[in-house]
Amino acid sequence: MIRLVILSIIQSLCLASGQVFLKLAMVKMEKFSWTWNYFYSLLTNWWFLLVGITMGSATVLWLHILKNYPLSSAYPMTCLSFVFGLLAAWIFLGESIPLTRWLGVGIIIVGVCFVAK
């Protein structure tokens, strides 16, 4: 079970970092339009490249987890990405996090601990 927890933490870190990179990529983009220039600027946005790398890594790792562990144990562990995403928004993006969200994160962590036992 400890191996599943470690793999889930890595996979959730990849998912959360992918979302942070996506946020940073979209901040650098102009208003959406169905033009070649918009899609060219998207494809040359280095943050967007990091989104592909981290989300691709998370997907490959998730495939490995699904192949080797019961879904009933593995799927609840994906909630760790919410925890890491909130922490990343607070630390790297400077977002303020209300107490209710911190309580929610605490509940998620307790739930993951129950699933991991």
Angle between helices 46-68 and 2-28 (to 10 degrees): 160
Q: In this structure, what are the phi and psi dihedrals at residue 69, rounded to the nearest 5 degrees? A: -135, 155
* C-alpha 88: how far from chain center: 10
Domain boundaries, the chain: 2-116
| Predicted local distance difference test score (pLDDT) of residue 32 | 81
- Token readout for 31 is 């208003």
pTM for the model stands at 0.86
Q: Show the tokens assigned to 23.
A: 């946020």
Task: Please write the tens of the pLDDT for every residue from 5-30.
Answer: 999 999 999 999 999 999 999 888 88
Among left, alpha and beta (phi > 0; psi -120 to 50; other), residue 55 is: alpha
| pLDDT for residue 42 is more than 90 | no
Q: How many CB atoms lie within 10 A of CB 38?
A: 14
